[in-house]
Every structure is written in structure tokens, then in C-alpha cells.
Structure 1
Amino acid sequence: MSRPSNPSATSVLALDTGAAATPARLAAGAIGDSASSAALARLNAAVSELKALSIQPLLQGAVNALNAGKPDEGAALAMKALELDERSGFGWYMLALAREMSGDFASSITCYEAALKLMPDHAEVANNLGRLAFRLGHTEVAEKLFRAFLKRFPNHHEGANNLACALRAQMRFDEAVEVLRAAILEDPSHAVVWNTLGTVMAEQGDSENAAIFFDEALRLDPEFAKAHYNRGNMSLALGDPAHALECCETALTKKITEDERQMMLLARSTIKINLGRVGEGWDDYEARLSPHFADVTVFSVNRPRWAPGDDLAGKSLLVIGEQGLGDEILFANVLPDIQEALGPNGRLTLAVEARLVPLFQRAFPTAEVGAHRTLKIDGRSHRFVPFLDGRMEEIDLFTPIASLLRQYRRSPEAFPDRVGFLTPDPARVAHWKIQLEAAPSGLKVGLLWKSNIINGGRHRFFSPFEQWAPVLRAPGATMVNLQYGDCAAELEQARRDFGVEIWNPPGIDLKQDLDDVAALCGALDLVIGFSNATLNIAAACGAPTWLITAPAAWTRLGTDRYPWYPQVRSFVPPAFGDWAPVMAEVADELAKLT
């Protein structure tokens, strides 16, 4: 077939959002659709030129099947074509598209690679391979593929957009802006480029400018679903959840793929919770379990799934922790209610992150507690419960832990006024009280200032370390390091720039020894920090805790408190990213204590 000689004739699928991360934990980005009607129409035209080939009818049938939304049928026809001619680049390309449509990303990327070797000058194959590599998290590979495309087709706005998405994912924001700026100067009429520029601004915490760029994208293309979605995220960050919900609802009425729909439903869930519509929010939160959600975790448990309203009395229930380690702890707020519902003849089995097993076993001594395990299979996360191998028939029902909230936490008032539901080791608490006597005198304050997870824009919800200066200098307080991960640079900065020595507790791995971390938190006078795994451990164990949280944090459930842990005091900045006032407030309140 003839090959296109200019970019306008080349089929390119843009990474048209990498949607700006919402304040929700699970916000995700859709990055294009290899089986869009426009792409398949171009493919159909290309295949129609292969009339001289014996496999043309099979390839034509595969295109028709993909157009009809039948990827399995398309894959079968593509494989028949490859049986006749294993060097058919279009055969491999068709099989790649079909596998991707079916969610089999690992096979799809292999097929794209085969197609690219046979059709090295076919731009759409290279672009799709880069797009899929991006989706699977191989951002450096995606960057190379997009740069190769732009080398052949310079000034191509969609190629520039895709490259900017890959750079943004690597937090190379200045480079991403320059790529997008050049594309806009070349032609400012493309909504997708303005939208991606908005996501780069949003990733850096510049919500106001991000909103301006999303508005421009919508001016250019009012039907642009992801720009509506992203604009809603910025409204949420700017303190207008009602407008955020309106934007999300509008996005859901536009033409979107099913994985985009599930992403937006998940975002809508946290917006509703932010507005106090907690029960509705938990119902939408089930979108995280849809097989069409790009970041779904598949729970490999061959037992009936619990549903709201199911009678638990006398049953054997398996509850599986999910999402991040801090989330497993947060959602465990509901477990005492579950034990009560199971009654004396019921049996609770808990599958949690391995480091949490001792802490949960002590808190729930009548339950069986073991570690879950997660594996990546064909690009998807699959969670297993290996300690129940051979005994799964003993389980009557199973559920991911957050699903229980649909029945037991449908309003802020449904959260009990119960301080602590996890139990630190009393002997280790006593040990740490003795150890803390060796620290400088004063109120012993545990300090947390960051998360080791910084992808998806999460870094925007943590202030720069230098903003902590007034808190660190509070008179009469001894700061105790609770921060896991590499924090040597911050400890040195506190010593050098603030004149503050943050005391390091001896003989503890703050990332791995979580049972001992819980005991250390129980020995402190106060824990202060942003929401990460350790802060959730401290709060769940009943430690006095001050939480610094973003204005749009959905976990406050639309209240001015933190219902998950009634003893936690929340400090909220006046605007997103405006950390100085809230740090000054925390410092003043700490000075009153000391």
C-alpha cells in the first residue's frame, strides 16, 4: 500500500488528557483510543488497498469486527491472516488492536512491536506502541517512540502532545511546557494541547492557570469530555465542589470510552463525598472494581462476593485490604462493626499488607489475619490470598474492604465516636517511653512531612519542607522523626537552616517495622503531619494527632473534622497550595501546648 508522506495523512492518537489528578486517591488518566471510529476508518481505507493479497478479506473482516466492537472476533480473523502470512504487518497490527480492546495489554504490546518491525515507516503503529507503553507505565520507552515520531513529522500537534504527556509523567514539567508552547505557537487551535498544558499546570499545583487552560480547551471543543472532567478537578481544588460535580456530570454525558467512564465515576464518588453525600459517593466508589477501569485490581477469590444487605450473622467473611497501605488502615475503621455483625458464631478472616499482620492480629484476636499478595498479570494487578490456599471453601463471602462502607458508613454520623481501633504492643510502648527520655526535654512530637508515593500529582498535597520552619521552631517541643524513606536531606536542612535537631529514634526501620512504629506513636505526646501510612497508623492506634490536609480532601466527608479518627484535629490551608498560613496556625497551637 502507499504510505502517507505528510503528517496530516498519518493516523495519530493523542494522549489527550493524562487527566489532571483529582484530590481523589484513585484519579487516573485516559491516554487515547486506538479503536476510535476515526482510527478504524483510516485502517479500513488502508486495508481496502490490499486487494491483491489473499489475506485481504480476512483483514477486512477483522476491521469490520473491530468497528462493531467485537475484539475477539477481530483477533480470530487476524490470527487466520497471520497463519497464511506471518509477515503481514497489518495482520500483527490488527491483532494488537484487538488485544488492546480486550484489555490484554501484554499481548497487545508484543503484537505492536511485531507490526512495527514489519512496517517501520507506519507512523500509527509507532504512536500506538508509544501510547500503550505510556499506559503500562513505561514512560521512558514512550518518550523515545514519541520523539522518533516527531523527528519524522516535526510540528505535529498530537505528537507534541503525546511527548509532553510522557515528560509530565516523569515530572519534567519545564520540558513538557516548552514542547506544548512550541505546538501552540505553531497552531493554537488544538484543544488537546491546551488541555494537556492544563494538566501540567495542575501537576505543579497551579490550579488557577490550569483552569484557564482547560477553559480554553473547552472554548475550542465544547464536546471535549476530559477537559470538562479536568476543569471540575480544578474547581474542586479551588474550593467549589458543587461546580466540580457539575463538570464531572457534563463529562459523563459526552462520548467517552468505558475506562474513561469508570475513571470519571470514581472521581464523581469523591466529589459527592466531599459534598457530604457520603452514601451516594460510596456507591460510585465501586467503579474502582469495574473490569473496564484502567487501574482495576482483580481479586482472585473464587467465592461469592458480599453485597450490602447480606446477612453476616454466623457467616465466614473474608475481608481483603486494598489500595495503599494507609487506605487499608483508614478503611479498617469499619471492622469492629463487621465483627459485631458476624456475631459469636461468625468468623472474620483478614488479608492485609504483610507489614500490618501483627498489628491487625493484636487488634482483632478472634480473626484469622494473613498477608495478601499482588502480582501483575497482562498489565493488571491481581490480588491473591495465599494463606488460604486449599481452604477457600471455608469462606462463605468475601469483599474488598472499602465496599463495606456502602452499608456501614453512609453518612458522617455513621462514623462512631471511637478513639482507636488498632492496638499497639504495650511492652513496646513502654520501651519507647524509656527511649524518649533520652531525647531532649520537652513535648515529644512525631513529625511526618511527605509520602514516598509522588505519582499522579500526589506531591501537590504535601508542602515543601522549608514551609515547616515555624512548626519545627516551636519552643518547648522536641521533634521526633517518624518519616519513612530517605529523609537525610530534610534532617540536614532542619539542622542547617532552621537550627533544629530532629531526634531520630534508634533501632527502628520506620518503613518496615510498622508494628514498632505503632508502639512509638503510642509513646509520643503528639503526632503532626500530612496523611500518609504512618499518620494513619498513629491515628488508628488512638494517638493524639494533628492532620494537615488540603482544602479539597474528600476524606473529611464534607465536615470540618476527620470522622475516621475522632481524636484527630484537622488543619486546612485557606487555599490549595497556600501552606504558609496553616503552618503558622499549627506552630501557634503547638506553642500553646508547650
Structure 2
Amino acid sequence: MSRNLGSGISAAALATAQEAAGQGVLPGLRASQLGDSASADSIARLNREASAVQDPATIKLLNKAIIAVQRGEYALAEKTALKALKKNERAGPAWHVLAVAREKLGDFASSMHCYDAALKLLPNEAAVAGDLGRLAFRMEMPEIAAKLFMHFLNANPGSLEATNNLACALRDLNQESAAIDILKPAIQANPTQPVLWNTLGTVMCSLGEGRTAVTFFDEVLRLAPQFGKGLHNRAFARLDLGDVEGALADCDAGILVADSSEDLAAMSFARSTILLALGRVTEGWAAYGARLSTELGGVPNYQFPVPVWKKGEDLAGKGLLVVAEQGLGDEVMFANTLPDVAEALGPDGKLSILVERRLVPLFERSYPQANVAVHRTVAYQGHIYRDAPFIEDWSSIDRWVPMGSLLETLRPSVEAFPKRERFLTPDPERVAHWKKVLEDAPPGPKVGLLWKSLKLNAERARLFSPFELWEPVLKTPGVSFINLQYGDCDEEIAYARDQLGVEIWTPPGIDLKQDLDDVAALSCALDLVIGFSNATINLAGACGAPIWMLTGAASWTRLGSDHSPWYPQCRCFIAPDYDDWRPIMADVAGALAEFAK
């Protein structure tokens, strides 16, 4: 398993990771990857690699490049490593130094290719695999990272770095049991290592076992009271248990001891959502600007030729470009402010809106006075950029604003949310079409179901109940269940049919992932939509469909209330924690039985 490792970093895999970037960022758990490609140990390894090169001129350049890395002069290290490669393009150490330099310069995509080249050329490539694995993990490619960490661990049995990093990757692959299996003996042999306890705590959080996770994070902080990631992670475990005040205290303490700009950005973003969860809405929105920090993975650099709108600037008569941001559900939810924006611009103003491609028809119908276009998000040299290639004439646009930045001004409190029937308008002809189609479904009230998100990595998975726990809901008599779940859901539908004797009827002639305008119409043709917070239930709520939303105790989007301010017709079922979804499913089943009478 040596030379073939290089082929694991395919262009397709890299493209997939880049495509996922810019699609939203969650203020989530902070796993601790051990090791640093420019540490003292790494510098010593680079020197050993360089000493094995035969050509004196190349060795001289490599030594100069390594010294530059040691001094933190990464641009010089890059330039010098390129000179060495010009002399000998098969010099593995030169590729390794170039990879380190470009990683430190933030050019992650190119750095990955350089590590890959070094991996193929160096005779002892296990340590390079460790460096490349950390970078793959950072670029949200856990499957590749796990492969590389396993190779590193096989070459270095007992390595805490390899063990910890492999566990982190396995956790992100939803392989929590495997992560626990490698962490337990490592902790038994090294019980005073806080990083191992921290990683185990994140695994427990992913399993929804918040109480156990808090115990492990307590141990982290007993061993290392100033361990910022441990404080940050305990904050999230406390959120899972509904202890929002305790979460804020931990987050504030973590910010004071953050040991990197990336950690500080993540904690600052997390703090804003905790404030919102506490109902401190004005403070929360003021702090919510932290979500735009490019230190957070997946946050784009916005590229527009006009100034950004600042809070307090008058909008009357202006041309404003509102740019949707984060994930698809956020693009829909944050559109709650658009009617107010249109009113503030007035008859002489001009509204332009950038949204994800699938949302364009819906937004065009909802805001016929606006220019609706598609935003483009691209990855280049390890960075994410968002622009507006389909806007050719900028002369009528005075300012641009990320959609979420309007909330501080227009939604400073829960009471400021209007009791508006809808803020997106479904196609009335398609609503009528789907009402007709639904006549072919089993008899009874037509209830749409949503039970998961398309992106169910370890961290998001805990926000959704296992499908088996839907049994009491699905066995509610007299209800016709309609599938609204996008993505691969054949397994769950077969389980409901074969194990529970319940048919979840899938509407014909619709792509539930791509045809979002039609999904909106279908949702409004139903009697009720039930599910966890994902893109579709936000779409249904924005269009005025009756929805029941299942949420966690500290879900920040409720803004400290017991309901959804965004969708006045929404009924929330609130789980006390993520340890056990059975009570909330029993509540939904009871309410549905009443609804179906």
C-alpha cells in the first residue's frame, strides 16, 4: 500500500470536495488534528530527505527552501522549491517542501497535488501520507484522509498522531464504532493526553450521547484547563442537552484561549448562534457577521464591483443586490426579509437577487419586480469565490449585501418577524396539478415526510432521528404518507413497507432534489408536511404550506422561542436532547392522530 496511495487523490475527488465548499458552514465541533507539516520534527524529516538527494545543486536549493519554511518565509520556500524542481522534476523532497509551502500559503488544492507527487517519489512516504491526510481532512475529504492516516499508522504503530487523526476521519465517515475501537487502547496507554479525550468526546457527540461527551470534555479540561477546542466542544455538547447558558460560558472561555485564527473564527460564529438560541436576538445578529470570516472552511470570498451595504444606510431609491448565502435551506429561510427590502427600496429602487440555480423560477415568480440571477461559487487555489457572472450591467446596482446581514436591521427581535402567510409564491397551476395527482395516493390526509438531510456527516447525523424511531408516527391510522425526501431513500421506504406495513407513496414525475419549484408546489398541495429542518421543509414553510418541524432543545433558528418565527404556520416539536428521540416521536404520533380524525 505505498505507491498506489498517490492515485487516491484523484481530480474527481478533489473536484467533489471543491464543489461542496461554499455550500454552507456550521458552527460545529472542533476535532484536533495532531501534527504540523512545518514543525521542528517535520523540518528535521525534510532535512533527512534532502540529504539523500545526489545532485549538490539541488541539495543547496532544498536546504535554502527548508530554512525558509523554518523561518515561516513560505513564499520564498515555494520559489526556491520550484527552482529545485526545474533542475530535477523527480526530486521527491522538492515536491514535499513545495507542498508544505503552498499549504501554509493557503493554496490547498495545489498543495495536495504536490504532496501526492512527493508520496509517489519518496522511498519512505509514510510521514508524507500523514501530512497529506491532514490536508485532505481539512478539505473535507475524510475517506481519503482515513486511507492516508491508516498507512501512516501502519508504518508507525502506536503513534498518537496517527491514531488520533485516523479517529477524526472515521468519525466524519460516520464510523464511530471504529473510531472508538482505536481510541480506547490509545487512551488506556496515554490517559493524560487531552487531545485523545477531546476526539473521543466529539465521537460521542456525533452519536448523540451528549452526557457522555460532557464527561469526556470535562476530563480534557481537567488535564488542560486552557484547551480551547475542549471548551468549544463542551459548549456544543451542552447545547445538545439544552444547557444554553452553560454553552455560552464555555464558548466565551474558549474564545479567550483560542490558539489559531481558524479556531477563533469558528468559536466566534458559534457564539453568535448561541446568543440567538438564548433569545438575545439583537446581540446575536450583531455577532452573526462572524459567519463571513474566510477563516471558516467553505466561506466564500465575495467578488462584486460595488460596495457592500452597511447597517443604517438608507435604501430608498437605491439599487441593491441581495446575495443568498450558506446552504440551500438558509437561502430560503433568510428570504423572509425580502418583502421588507422591496418596500424599503420603494418604487424608484431596484432589487436584484442572487440565488442557487434551482431556486431561480420560484424567486422570479415571488419577486417579479426584481432581477433574479444565479450566483456562481468556484474553488481556486484552495480558496472559495462567489460572483455574479450573469449580471452584465452593474450601472443600476449601488450596493450588495449578504442576505443574512439584513436580519440585524429587519428582524431585531422575535416580535419583529411578521405573521406573513408566505414570502415565496408557488406556481398555482402546479399546486392544482399536484392536488389532482395526489388523488391517486392512498386515502386519508396527505402528509409529506422528510427524515434526513442530503449531507449527513457525523456532526449533522445527530440532528436527525434514526428512521426506525418514526414507527409510531408511520403507524398512525388513516394517514396517507407522501415521500418528499430527496436523495437516496429506497432503503427507508422499503423498511417502512416490509417491516412496518406502511406505504410511503412517492409522487410520479418529479425529481425531489432538482425540481425545487415543483417541490414547492407539491408541498402546498399537501395537507401537512412533517420533518426535521432541511432544505425542503424550509421551502414548504416559506411557501405557506402547513409544517410540523422536529428540532433540538437549543436550535438557534427558534431564536429562544417555542415556535418558528420564520414560518408562523409552523408547529415545533422540541426534543429535550439528542440522546433519545422516542419521546418527541410519540408526541408527533399523538398530534398526528388528532389531526387525522
RMSD between superposed Cα atoms in Å: 2.8
Residue 485 of structure 1, aligned match among 481, 487, 490: 487
Q: Which residue of 2 aligns with 1:549?
A: 551
Offset, 1:85: 6.4
The answer on whether the counterparts of 1:424 and 1:541 sit within 8 Å (CA) in structure 2 is: yes
The answer on whether the counterparts of 2:29 and 2:236 sit within 8 Å (CA) in structure 1 is: no
TM-score (norm 2): 0.88
CA gap of 1:511–1:85, structure 2 versus 1, over 3 A, is closer
* Residue 130 in structure 1 maps to residue 110 in structure 2: no
Q: Aligned ranges for residues 513-532 of structure 1 at < 5 Å? A: 513-532=515-534
Unaligned segments of structure 2, at least 5 residues: 1-23
Offset, 1:565: 0.8
Q: Which residue of 2 aligns with 1:27?
A: 28
> 1:369 aligns to what SS in structure 2?
strand
TM-score (norm 1): 0.89
Distance 2:256 2:73 in 1: 24
The answer on whether the counterparts of 2:285 and 2:408 sit within 8 Å (CA) in structure 1 is: yes
Residue 285 of structure 1, aligned match among 268, 285, 288: 288
* Residue 306 in structure 1 maps to residue 322 in structure 2: no
* Residue 182 in structure 1 maps to residue 191 in structure 2: no
Distance 1:498 1:86 in 2: 62
Q: Which residue of 2 aligns with 1:321?
A: 324
Distance 2:254 2:399 in 1: 36
Q: Which residue of 2 aligns with 1:11?
A: none
Q: Aligned ranges for residues 49-88 of structure 1 at < 5 Å? A: 66=69, 69-80=72-83
Q: Which residue of 1 aligns with 2:19?
A: none
Residue 459 of structure 1, aligned match among 454, 458, 461: 461
CA gap of 1:43–1:303, structure 2 versus 1, over 3 A, is farther
Distance 1:468 1:158 in 2: 40
* Residue 261 in structure 1 maps to residue 280 in structure 2: no
The answer on whether the counterparts of 1:363 and 1:422 sit within 8 Å (CA) in structure 2 is: yes
Offset, 1:364: 0.5
CA gap of 1:439–1:86, structure 2 versus 1, over 3 A, is closer
The answer on whether the counterparts of 2:30 and 2:233 sit within 8 Å (CA) in structure 1 is: no
The answer on whether the counterparts of 1:198 and 1:209 sit within 8 Å (CA) in structure 2 is: yes
CA gap of 1:489–1:49, structure 2 versus 1, over 3 A, is closer
Q: Which residue of 2 aligns with 1:331?
A: 334
CA gap of 1:391–1:231, structure 2 versus 1, over 3 A, is same
Distance 1:403 1:33 in 2: 37
Q: Aligned ranges for residues 498-577 of structure 1 at < 5 Å? A: 498-577=500-579
Q: Which residue of 2 aligns with 1:384?
A: 387
Unaligned segments of structure 1, at least 5 residues: 1-22
Residue 167 of structure 2, aligned match among 144, 164, 167: 164
CA gap of 1:362–1:530, structure 2 versus 1, over 3 A, is same
CA gap of 1:512–1:109, structure 2 versus 1, over 3 A, is closer
Which amino acid is 2:300 matched to? Answer: T
Offset, 1:250: 1.5
Which amino acid is 2:28 matched to? Answer: A
The answer on whether the counterparts of 2:46 and 2:97 sit within 8 Å (CA) in structure 1 is: no
CA gap of 1:279–1:46, structure 2 versus 1, over 3 A, is farther
The answer on whether the counterparts of 1:279 and 1:406 sit within 8 Å (CA) in structure 2 is: yes
CA gap of 1:487–1:142, structure 2 versus 1, over 3 A, is closer
More divergent stretch after superposition (438-447 vs 315-324): 438-447
Q: How many residues align?
A: 571
Distance 1:547 1:54 in 2: 67
The answer on whether the counterparts of 1:40 and 1:63 sit within 8 Å (CA) in structure 2 is: no
The answer on whether the counterparts of 1:238 and 1:576 sit within 8 Å (CA) in structure 2 is: yes
Distance 1:185 1:123 in 2: 25
Distance 2:400 2:27 in 1: 22
Q: Which residue of 2 aligns with 1:470?
A: 472
CA gap of 1:218–1:59, structure 2 versus 1, over 3 A, is farther
> 1:27 aligns to what SS in structure 2?
coil
> 1:528 aligns to what SS in structure 2?
strand
Offset, 1:418: 1.4
- Identity across the alignment (%): 52
Q: Which residue of 2 aligns with 1:348?
A: 351
Distance 1:586 1:252 in 2: 39
* Residue 422 in structure 1 maps to residue 389 in structure 2: no
Offset, 1:563: 0.5
Distance 1:54 1:484 in 2: 58
Q: Which residue of 1 aligns with 2:11?
A: none
More divergent stretch after superposition (276-285 vs 317-326): 276-285
Q: Which residue of 2 aligns with 1:13?
A: none
The answer on whether the counterparts of 2:109 and 2:382 sit within 8 Å (CA) in structure 1 is: yes
